[in-house]
Copies of this chain bind each other. A is one copy, B any other.
Amino acid sequence: MQYSSAMAGLRERKKQRTRRALIDAALQLFARKGYADTTLAEIAATAEVSTRTFFSYFSGKDDLLFHDGEERMERALALLAGRRPGETAGALLLRLVEAGFGWALEDEALTFEEAELRMRLIMAEPALRARALLLMYDGQLRVAAALRQACQDELDEVEAAAAVGALFGAVKLAVMAHLGHDRSLKDIQTTARRAAELALDGLRALDTPPAEARQGATRAAGRVPVEPPGMAS
């Protein structure tokens, strides 16, 4: 225990380089041959390390694609911990969603191409989809716990969990279902906002289709009147 955690030794720098080399090698191979058809041996060889070494950097082949999740999570938890004085639980959660978009966009160290490749791989490979969902799920549990902490006496455990589950569940499914049609970042963001608004307002807001009372004060955002009025299969 010579020096503290924030070191700059050669050893540490080398490890970071190897880590990047593994990720880059993997992404490149995945892009070229697909996820399933790329072996760990190939990845390790391309990154110039032994196959065994791979496992001291990542817990498995899939872990490679989800290496930056923890950092995001910590920022999310920090945001929740920094709840503003008069802020309601709903507003706090909404702020988290918006902040998440900001983080995703301003993320250096992750080009658009990489992000898109990753998304394509995840959608194509069930194993990766499952892993992604697991991370979301575990993350939501942590967010729910943090929300409960931030709102102490206002929310019980079930309410906090339900709120988080509803909000992110809505956003997730809406974005995923909408994906495949278009892929403009802007459109996705709009979709996510609509879904979030819907979760905040409650599903019953959908129960009055014959135009009326749909302009609740909180309904100001998103919601461009774009869809064709009539439609059938």
Q: Interface of A with B (CB < 8 Å)?
A: 83, 88-91, 93, 126, 129-131, 133-134, 137, 140-141, 144-145, 149-150, 152-174, 176-178, 191, 194-195, 198-207, 209, 218, 226-228, 230-233
Contact = CB atoms under 8 A, between A and B. Distances in A.
A173 B90 contact: no
A134 B140 contact: no
A124 to B, nearest CB: 13
Q: Which 10 A-B pairs have the closest CB atoms?
A: A169-B169, A202-B202, A165-B173, A166-B170, A161-B177, A162-B195, A153-B231, A88-B207, A130-B130, A130-B134
A213 to B, nearest CB: 13
A230 B154 CA distance: 9
A228 B178 CA distance: 42
Contacts of A227: 153-154, 156
Contacts of A149: 233
Nearest to A135: B130
Nearest to A194: B158
Contacts of A191: 158
Contact of A162 (B88, B133, B170): B170
A177 B90 contact: no
A148 to B, nearest CB: 9
Contact of A178 (B155, B161, B177): B161
Contacts of A163: 170, 198, 203, 206
A206 B158 contact: no
Among A131, A140, A202, A231: residue with most chain B CB under 10 A: A202
